[in-house]
Amino acid sequence: MLSLKNRGLLLGKRETDYQLGSSPVVKEVLNPSLNWKEWSPEHEIQAKKYYDTLSCVTYSALDAIEYIFIYRLNKGQVSPQDVKWLQEKGYFQNGLINFSERFTAILGETTSQGAYQYKVGDAIRKFGLIPESMFNAPIEEVRSQAEFLDKTKITPEMYTLGLEFVKRFPINYEWALNLKEGLKYAPLQVCVYYADGDGLLCPTNPPIHAVLAINLGDDFIEIDDSYSRQYKKYCPQAIYSSMLYTVNFKTMTFKKEKGKPHVYFTNENTMTKVMIIDMDTLNALGGQYMEVDNLDNYSNAGTFVWVERKIE
């Protein structure tokens, strides 16, 4: 059954946004099978008892990052120090990583019409993520979307923890036109016309809802939906506007030598360094760096230069 009601998606992108294949962010192929279903986070619903949060863009974005964390944790690819920090700060709930949608929906400028993908992406990149348990929406306290999106409810402690999180786990996003390529790195946030049913869903209406693509078959794309049933299958031609999120788990870091002006993008696996020319470029890549005595052990591997708002 189809519905014309908007589920919270505002369509739009910027010319300056990165496209998969042109971004300077180094990505690691994690899952060549293209099937992420095994690493599913807890299923959370955007529509509450008394209201719809209209935050599908946030729910699908955080689902993408939760899938990545759960995959990395199960593969032993998160450092013991980071696991301990996540545990101490309350990021685990029911044994799984769980981030606060309310925090990101507010900072991602969600409105009564929904949110843009890039604005939610910017909020995640700049402000980080906090635990669901730190800022949720208890039914006895929140009875409307306006209350859910009340920015005054975000405390200084929440802002501080979010910034600490993103310094520890820098996050970036880029548009991914090729789903088969993008799904090797992570589940993909995609946009669809909302539909429901057990069979293959092939709506032809424009997209009104953001979901998460988690599996690619020969003639279908399986999605994780925050509005109703968790798993559904869509025709490939019914999928639009794909976005890839990447999380830096410390194999790639930003470093600056004390007393020197330049910041470097360093690869701890290959022990190479790439110089970042200006602050625009640094901010586009996350904006956080650590100061070290020297980078003598790293070999030079080029530069990142911001030219006419594009990374060359």
Query: Which tens digit of pLDDT belongs to each residue from 43-87?
Result: 999 999 999 999 999 999 999 999 999 999 998 888 878 899 999
Greater model confidence, 290 or 130: 130
**72-81, 91-100, 163-172, 224-233: which has the minimum mean pLDDT?**
72-81
In a domain, 305, yes or no: yes
Query: Which tens digit of pLDDT belongs to each residue from 243-286?
Result: 999 998 865 567 888 888 888 877 765 678 888 766 666 665 55
Are 228 and 182 contained in the same domain? yes
In a domain, 3, yes or no: no
In a domain, 66, yes or no: yes
**115-129, 223-237, 269-283: which has the minimum mean pLDDT?**
269-283
Are 286 and 203 contained in the same domain? no
Report whether 54 contacts 44 (CB < 8 A).
no
Is the pLDDT at 146 greater than 60, yes or no? yes
Q: Which of 247, 266, 281 is the last residue of a domain?
A: 247
Are 302 and 156 contained in the same domain? no
Q: What is the DSSP string of 161-182?
A: HHHHHHHHS-EEEEE-S-HHHH
Are 160 and 193 contained in the same domain? yes
Task: Could you list the beta-strand ranges (E) of the chain.
Answer: 9-10, 92-93, 96-97, 115-116, 171-175, 188-192, 200-201, 209-216, 221-224, 231-234, 240-247, 252-257, 263-267, 272-276, 290-292, 299-304, 306-307, 310-311
In a domain, 4, yes or no: no
Q: Which of 195, 213, 247 is the last residue of a domain?
A: 247
Are 91 and 151 contained in the same domain? yes
Given this model, what pLDDT does residue 310 score? Answer: 42
Decide: pTM greater than 0.85: no
Are 288 and 153 contained in the same domain? no
Domain count, the chain: 2
Residue range 148-160: mean pLDDT, rounded: 98
Q: What percent of the chain has pLDDT over 90?
A: 66
Q: Which of 231, 247, 263 is the last residue of a domain?
A: 247
Question: How far is it, in rounded angstroms, from Cα 219 to Cα 224?
Answer: 17
Are 211 and 263 contained in the same domain? no
Is the pLDDT at 158 greater than 80, yes or no? yes
> Where on the phi/psi map is residue 94: left (φ > 0), alpha (ψ -120 to 50), or beta?
left
Are 122 and 84 contained in the same domain? yes
Identity of the amino acid at 238: A
Are 172 and 273 contained in the same domain? no
* Residue 220 binned pLDDT confidence (cut-offs 50, 70, 90): very high
Are 97 and 208 contained in the same domain? yes
Place of tokens 């194999």: 251
Q: What percent of the chain has pLDDT over 70?
A: 89
Are 13 and 41 contained in the same domain? yes
Look up residue 268 and give its two tokens.
Answer: 């701890």
Instruction: Report the candidate in 238, 242, 250 with the shortest Cα–Cα distance to residue 201.
Output: 238
* Residue 134 binned pLDDT confidence (cut-offs 50, 70, 90): very high
CATH number of the domain encompassing residue 174: 3.90.70.10
Question: How far is it, in rounded angstroms, from Cα 23 to Cα 176?
Answer: 11
Are 284 and 154 contained in the same domain? no
In a domain, 54, yes or no: yes
In a domain, 20, yes or no: yes
Range(s) of the domain holding residue 262: 252-311
Query: Which tens digit of pLDDT belongs to each residue from 167-201?
Result: 999 999 999 989 999 999 999 999 999 999 989 99
